[in-house]
Amino acid sequence: MKVTELAKGVYWVGAIDWNLRDYHGYTLPGTTYNAYLVIGEKVALIDTTYPGFEGQMLDHVASIIDPVKIDYVIANHVEMDHSGGLPKIAKMLPGVPIYCTQAGVEGFNRHYDTEGWNFHVIKNGETLDLGGKTLVFLEAPMLHWPDSMFTYLAEDEILFPNDAFGQHIASSERFDDELGTDEAMEHAQKFFANLIIPLAPKVLKKLGEVTDLKVGIRMVAPSHGVIWRENAMGIITAYANWSNGVSKDKVTIVYDTMHGSTTRMATAIAEGVIEGGCEAKVCMLKDGRYEGTHRSDVVKGILDSKAVIVGTPTLQDEPLPTVAGFMSYLRGLRPGRLTQKKKGFTFGSHGGSGGAMRIVEDDMKKAGIEIFREPIEVYYRPDKDEIELCRRAGKEIAEAVRNS
Ligand code: FEO
């Protein structure tokens, strides 16, 4: 079995999940559950896998050392995609110290039968000397759950931040330079957009704390996707930029339609956006009736857009269910927590009293998007003047975006 070595005595021993296509509402081309083995005079296993994948992980460990030689388990995060192998490890290695946070202990106790597990609750900044390899533990609450922590390997300057800096991708490659840094960054952007946006202020705080440590970071080895070897500082900078809301002169228009009127409006708005000098991205939401864009891909595009415009017809006095569901998702992500705010407005058609646009507008406000103008609401089919109004609104928001 091919062994992936990050540095002398440091190995990737995770598992590849080639078949996963949906993870709590996020579409993905498979993923990896990264675990790492650090061998000094003593041996530490950092994280495990989703339940059912621990056999793959233990095969990888066994290709390097006998798994019974593991002296410590470092559990950076409770979520089952990283802790699912713990019951087997705890059974195989009775009494093995499991290093985690206090919130980690509480989380593990709610997930597994932990009777007999030997938890060691870390203090922020605590070290573990493996003999020639020193691990440093940093609490990282809410990155991604309250229990999360980072582990830093001092001699090799490798950061193991668990979910942070990860990407959902299943591939043969284990390093960013093998996969291609640009492709890795695209997957990292989607990961950030769908999981990390609401945590942006905590990301900035944690990046500041890591900077204050004044330690080198030669490699960032997350718990999903490829290891940042060529561009370790690049992904850290990208996290800072995304958290700060640094975006392009780009406007994302997201909508659904019943009979095409809202599509005509979206197209006219996009023409105005382009005329106004911005990149336009138009996404009709996918709802199973036809091809479109999945919400998890839409929010990836919103992350680097300065404006987001949402369109919906009115159905039974409400937005179309696709748009209502999308707005629920966007509200939860809270793009308003990014340092630089996004602008937006709503549009759509109706055949009765309308009203859906105001509901969507309220959702946009709750998501932290600044409302740029009144909704554009048309009765049945947009006429020539209304199409021109849409085009003009697109141009105006593009000009505002370029001047921001
Ligand atoms: Fe990859 Fe929060 O788990």
Pocket of ligand 1 contains residue 168 by CB under 6 Å: no
Q: Which pLDDT value is given to residue 326? A: 97
Pocket of ligand 1 contains residue 295 by CB under 6 Å: no
**CA nearest neighbour of 345 among 304, 392, 292:** 392
From residue 297, alpha-carbon distances to 91, 104, 187, 286, 368 in Å are 40, 31, 10, 10, 20
Q: pTM for the complete prediction?
A: 0.95
Protein residue with least CA distance to atom 3, ligand 1: 79
Protein residue with least CA distance to atom 1, ligand 1: 163
Which atom from ligand 1 is nearest to the alpha carbon of 148? 2
> In the chain, which stretches have pLDDT less than 70?
1, 288-290
State how far the Cα of 240 lies from the Cα of 260, in Å rounded to an integer: 40
State how far the Cα of 357 lies from the Cα of 365, in Å rounded to an integer: 12
CA 230 / ligand 1 centre spacing (Å): 24
Q: Which pLDDT value is given to residue 318? A: 96
Cβ pair 214, 245 in contact under 8 A:
no
CA 79 / ligand 1 centre spacing (Å): 5
Q: Which pLDDT value is given to residue 155? A: 97
293 DSSP assignment: B
Pocket of ligand 1 contains residue 139 by CB under 6 Å: no
pLDDT in tens, 161-190: 999 999 999 999 999 999 999 999 999 999
Pocket of ligand 1 contains residue 81 by CB under 6 Å: yes
Distance between the two ends of the chain, CA-based, in angstroms?
A: 54
**Alpha-helix runs per DSSP H in 118-220:** 176-179, 181-191, 200-212
Q: Which pLDDT value is given to residue 387? A: 98
Q: Which pLDDT value is given to residue 290? A: 62
CA 86 / ligand 1 centre spacing (Å): 15
CA 83 / ligand 1 centre spacing (Å): 9
Q: Which pLDDT value is given to residue 379? A: 96
CA 193 / ligand 1 centre spacing (Å): 14
Pocket of ligand 1 contains residue 223 by CB under 6 Å: yes
Backbone angles phi, psi at 327, to 5 degrees: -70, -35
